[in-house]
């Protein structure tokens, strides 16, 4: 889809609708809404409607899972640096890289690897968000680096539920990417007999390699996120509650002290790094397989 003033207008309208929908649901703060508007407009304008819908599927599915059993996750979320309402930096951590790939796709006149990288970054972000929102419900998480049992929601923790959720999130984006791309190609042949049957066969047979590559890359990106969270993310300790937290000031009101990691590496930086890892993993697997 070539860039034009019409594409830019459609991108603005679509991104504005998504951002306002998220804002009214309290999924985004005011700054997060502006960031979502920017990312959405860039992706639609330079990538097209299929790229934009993938972004929508990531965001909507992640927002729904954030709201899933919200009361059960309230205490764990209280130890996160930020809550379920996403701000500017949270949106940019997951959305800036896909927006960059969409822009590069336009500037370079296309390129399969840029689309692969775009989907890989989104798959990683989706896998991580699904794993976080469902994994915190697990009663027996373990630290990814040493297998030691840790509290629910601990940075770097993994669980069976979380790993399955990560795999499902990555596969969800992979299947949607192949399905939307093939549907876009089939639009020119809507009169063909047996189009639905052919479409479904092509989706899971012809697109099988792509689905595997993106699913694997997204899952690896999620594991990288857990590893970064366990090793380099700055974590703090509340002397009153005797709990590890991402917050400089704990929810109890006490000032926390340094515990481990680099103080300047927060969850947003970790999310951006894992998205980069997912994109690179997708490119590498696509080239190798």
Q: Across 138-142, 152-156, 205-209, 277-281, which has the greatest mean pLDDT? A: 277-281
Task: Please tell me the predicted confidence (pLDDT) of residue 193.
Answer: 43
Q: Give pLDDT tens digits for 37-53.
A: 999 999 999 998 899 99
Tens-place pLDDT, residues 185-236: 666 555 444 444 454 555 555 688 899 999 999 999 999 999 999 999 998 8
Given a contact cutoff of 8 angstroms between Cβ atoms, the answer to whether 132 and 162 are in contact is yes
- Count up the domains in the chain and report the number: 1
Domain that holds residue 45: 5-288
Whole-model pTM over 0.85: yes
**Tokens 């993106």, residue located:** 214
Reported as a single tens digit per residue, the pLDDT across 249-276 is: 877 778 888 889 999 999 999 999 999 9
CB 106 within 8 A of CB 137: no
The pLDDT assigned to 152 comes to 78
Sheet of 257-260, strands arranged across: 243-245, 235-238, 257-260
Query: What value does the mean pLDDT take over residues 118-123?
Result: 98
Q: In degrees rounded to 5, what are phi and psi of residue 45?
A: -65, -40
């Amino acid at each position: 889809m070539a860039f034009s003033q019409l594409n830019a207008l459609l991108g603005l309208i679509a991104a504005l609708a998504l951002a306002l929908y998220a804002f009214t649901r309290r999924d985004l703060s005011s700054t997060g809404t502006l960031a979502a508007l920017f990312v959405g407009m860039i992706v639609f304008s330079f990538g097209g409607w299929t790229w934009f819908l993938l972004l929508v599927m990531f965001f909507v599915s992640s927002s729904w899972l954030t709201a899933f059993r919200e009361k059960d996750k309230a205490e764990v979320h209280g130890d996160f640096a930020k809550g379920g309402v996403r701000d500017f930096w949270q949106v940019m951590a997951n959305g800036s890289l896909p927006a960059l790939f969409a822009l590069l796709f336009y500037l370079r006149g296309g390129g399969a690897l840029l689309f692969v990288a775009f989907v890989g970054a989104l798959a990683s972000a989706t896998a991580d968000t699904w794993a976080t929102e469902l994994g915190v419900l697990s009663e027996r998480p373990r630290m990814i680096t040493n297998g030691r049992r840790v509290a629910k929601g601990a940075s770097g923790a993994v669980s069976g539920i979380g790993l399955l959720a990560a795999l499902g999130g990555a596969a969800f984006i992979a299947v949607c990417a192949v399905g939307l791309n093939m549907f876009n190609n089939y639009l020119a042949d809507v009169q063909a007999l047996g189009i639905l049957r052919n479409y479904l066969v092509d989706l899971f047979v012809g697109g099988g390699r792509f689905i595997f590559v993106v699913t694997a890359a997204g899952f690896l990106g999620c594991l990288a996120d857990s590893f970064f969270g366990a090793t380099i993310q700055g974590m703090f300790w509340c002397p009153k509650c005797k709990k590890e937290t991402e917050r400089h000031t704990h929810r109890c009101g006490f000032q926390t002290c340094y515990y481990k990691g680099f103080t300047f590496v927060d969850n947003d930086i970790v999310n951006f790094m894992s998205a980069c890892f997912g994109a690179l993993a997708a490119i590498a697997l696509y080239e190798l397989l």
